[in-house]
């Protein structure tokens, strides 16, 4: 059955009036499975007005009552997890296990948000002056917005609106137009959990909707996740309009393998981190720096595991699903072509993967002898492509990581505690794993990178997330 997504505003589905829509694909079938209405500026402004109207009641509600809504929302999402995972896999393409993980990682932040009343407490000093007491408080900043990417349509929206709503803000969510089904369903569940109409609104759209959010003066803060080019655009636009902004961009996450590493564990971890979710995640390891003399052995072991990965329909028993669209599949394939042309050795060629059906297929790809000036190393590919760079020393490896334009996540594999401690202190990256391939922080810490992976100075969720959606006042 073809789906026709509209908008969710002030507690109900609102029909789009723009006359513009975008096709939604089932990436495993290569077929259009529905459409999504694309909002006009006036439609975005109407949703913002609804959020503005809901703000006084919601922000004025005592924190524990807001927390009860979050507890109920968590229970509802858990009860509907299978339904949500199926929608996610059918629209995004990732395998069901990855879709379940997408939902659970979002729920981790919702669990954190249930305890936000503790983080809203202020400080108090009695007798700061003659007959004067001083105390501080944190208050919700107002109407806020989240602009989220296609690759985690459950987790990243919950990262944003979970914290914002728990602090007392009201929220405008502009999800990716490629897979809006889960965000729309989450908004319905938030209403069912007891959030008043207007607290969580979903406006589907493209650049026009983004620009409308940036320009509307009632939106006090914007959180964004996507490519670095668009992150910089959002950051600059929000700054020009006097808004708070956290704009998280692209990545080229390195894994350094030292000679003393547990090879079997490292290979297992690297393979999952590179090819899980078809490499469409900003924390995927896409570049391995092999410190000699281990490169030949390492590459052979990764090759063996990569060739065993079954690519196929994400709703079946496949290990890796398709890419999200044909356009993106072709873009990733063009990087493989460029790497081969530049002289890198194709060890495993995902262009040759054989899968039944007309899905947007691309299998795991492994490159050896990659050089730092090649596009497959310099740029974010966002697909199942892993590049291996050979170096002679730890210092060479560290220099490569620190000189790269991106600084989102990184990992080192070693049994040398001294090398691990040195790396965690010297590496210029926001999130670091020691024998952990994908160092996404727990929800009570904050997520965010360095360099061109983050525009702004605030990270997502955790204490920094709470402070981003609130402001302090001293009395």
Active site residues: 282
Pairing of strands 431-434, 409-413: parallel
Q: For tokens 């940036």, name the residue.
A: 214
Residue 361 tokens read as: 């297929």
Q: Could you tell me if 275 and 425 are in contact, meaning their C-beta atoms sit under 8 angstroms apart?
A: no
Contacts with 366 (C-beta within 8 Å, 6 or more apart), sequence order: 299, 302, 303, 306, 346, 347, 348, 386, 388
d(CA 147, CA 231): 10
| DSSP labels, 137-197 | EEEE-SEEEEE--SS-TTHHHHHHHHHHHHHT-EEEEE--TTS-HHHHHHHHHHHHTTPPT
C-alpha span between 415 and 429 (Å, rounded) = 21
Tokens 């009552």 map to which residue? Answer: 65
Q: Are 248 and 231 in contact (CB under 8 A)?
A: yes
Cis peptide before 293 (omega within 30 of 0): yes
* DSSP letter string, 325-349: -HHHHHHHHHHHHHHHHHT-EEEE-
């Amino acid at each position: 059955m073809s789906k026709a997504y509209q908008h969710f505003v002030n507690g109900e589905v609102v029909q789009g009036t723009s006359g513009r829509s975008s096709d939604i694909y089932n990436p495993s079938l290569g077929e259009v499975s529905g459409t999504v209405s694309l909002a006009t500026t006036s439609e975005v402004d109407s949703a913002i007005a609804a959020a503005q109207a809901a703000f006084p009641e919601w922000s004025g509600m005592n924190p524990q009552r807001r927390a009860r809504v979050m507890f109920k929302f968590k229970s509802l999402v858990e009860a509907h997890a299978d339904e949500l995972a199926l929608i996610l896999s059918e629209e995004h393409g990732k395998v069901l296990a990855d879709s379940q993980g997408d939902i659970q990682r979002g729920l981790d932040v919702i669990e954190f948000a249930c305890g936000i009343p503790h983080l809203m407490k202020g400080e108090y000093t009695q007798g700061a002056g003659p007959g004067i007491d001083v105390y501080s408080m944190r208050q919700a900043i107002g109407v806020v917005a989240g602009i989220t990417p296609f690759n985690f349509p459950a987790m990243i929206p919950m990262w944003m609106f979970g914290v914002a709503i728990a602090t007392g803000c009201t929220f405008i969510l502009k999800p990716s137009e490629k897979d809006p089904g889960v965000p729309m369903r989450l908004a319905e569940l938030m209403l069912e959990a007891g959030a008043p109409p207007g607290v969580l609104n979903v406006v589907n759209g493209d650049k026009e909707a983004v620009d409308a959010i940036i320009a509307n003066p009632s939106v006090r803060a914007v959180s964004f996740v996507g490519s670095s080019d668009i992150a910089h655009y959002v950051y600059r636009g929000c700054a020009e309009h006097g808004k708070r902004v956290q704009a998280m961009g692209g990545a080229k996450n390195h894994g350094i393998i030292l000679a003393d590493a547990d090879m079997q564990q490292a290979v297992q971890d690297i393979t999952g981190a590179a090819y899980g979710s078809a490499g469409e995640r900003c924390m995927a390891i896409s570049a391995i720096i092999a410190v000699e003399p281990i490169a030949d052995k390492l590459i052979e072991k990764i090759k063996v595991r990569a060739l065993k990965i079954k690519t196929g329909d994400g709703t079946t028993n496949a290990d890796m699903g398709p890419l999200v669209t044909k356009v993106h599949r072709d873009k990733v394939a063009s990087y493989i072509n460029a790497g081969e042309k530049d002289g890198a050795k194709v060890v495993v060629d995902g262009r040759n993967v054989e899968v039944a059906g007309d899905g947007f297929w691309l299998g795991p790809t492994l490159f050896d002898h990659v050089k730092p000036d090649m596009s497959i190393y310099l740029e974010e590919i966002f697909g199942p492509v892993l590049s291996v760079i050979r170096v002679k020393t730890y210092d060479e490896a560290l220099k490569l990581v620190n000189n790269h334009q991106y600084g989102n996540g990184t990992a080192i594999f070693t049994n040398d505690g001294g090398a691990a401690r040195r790396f965690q202190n010297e590496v210029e990256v926001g999130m670091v794993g020691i024998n952990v391939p994908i160092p996404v922080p727990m929800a009570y810490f904050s997520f965010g990178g360095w360099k061109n992976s983050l525009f702004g100075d605030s990270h997502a969720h955790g204490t920094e997330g709470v402070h981003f959606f609130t402001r302090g006042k001293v009395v």
